[in-house]
A and B are shown apart, each in its own frame.
Chain A
């Protein structure tokens, strides 16, 4: 009887890793394309409300953000747990908003100044009182183009 015998245990060939860099690079480019740089580090917790009729924000470089929400856990000792405003990287008082907008606008190119948009990123549990205050100071600062940030939902009917 002819028997085929394996004398030696067959060696499994090493996994070919030469294409690994290419795969990783592909990932890298994918992520570079679909993501954007973080605007700021959040100091307030913001989970935007939901809406179905949202539009994409155009020219991000002309948009300034106002964050409204309750301070993150690590800041509650210092700033309390009431709703606060964050401008740029720091907590701010409502009275500082007007001067913030004015100085941000004057830093812009003259042609772009009228195109400035202020995006109000507020938590969905925020009371309208504070949002109204923000709107009034934006009006005083002549920043009339605003966007209420909201996440897209599919229409639930």
Chain B
């Protein structure tokens, strides 16, 4: 009873195999993709006996975008390609020259920015056909969101010298109240064009 018994080292040669096994398990059960998407808010549901109150929106305040079953666009009564939509939407939302046809500008006092003339009551109305392709619909939505994002970026660069995403919360709120995102998705209708 003299010597202490030596503790043998743990055999670690199977460690690699165990690690491999875990690795392969995780490779199989997980997926790389992170979910990304376009956020929207749906309007409140209508009650059964509720009549839609006649909305008093001046015609010049509405920007109508229609997509038919052939995925073609009709913007404010004229045909337009998706590429040109963003510029048109920006012009509409901003109304830089205070034109008659574009939305009414009202003076609003906004914290941080002071008094601004904004198109407070504008609405972008998106109408689609039952047969419209989802991709086309998303493209249009995307262009509209992009129009808002570009306007916000331009304004925040002008006022704060930074991108909209880099501003703090208060500044973001201010910019957002200048360009509130107002996209309304109307109930579907059939706009001709090859309905089976």
Contacts and interface: CB of A to CB of B under 8 A. Distances in A.
A129 B35 contact: no
Nearest to B150: A53
Nearest to B142: A51
A128 B37 contact: no
Contact of B26 (A35, A54, A119, A123): A35
Size category of the A interface is: 35 or more
Interface in B158-173: none
Interface string B168-186: 0000000000000000010
A139 B44 contact: yes
A24 interface: yes
Interface residues of B, number: 48
Nearest to B145: A53
18 contacts: A21-B16, A21-B19, A28-B23, A32-B30, A37-B31, A38-B29, A49-B135, A50-B135, A51-B139, A53-B146, A119-B37, A128-B128, A128-B132, A135-B42, A144-B42, A147-B35, A148-B40, A149-B35
Interface of B: 12-13, 15-16, 18-20, 22-23, 26-27, 29-45, 67, 128-135, 137-139, 141-142, 145-146, 149, 185, 187-188
Interface of A: 17-18, 20-21, 24-25, 27-28, 31-32, 34-38, 48-57, 60, 63, 117, 119, 122-129, 131-132, 135-136, 138-140, 142-152
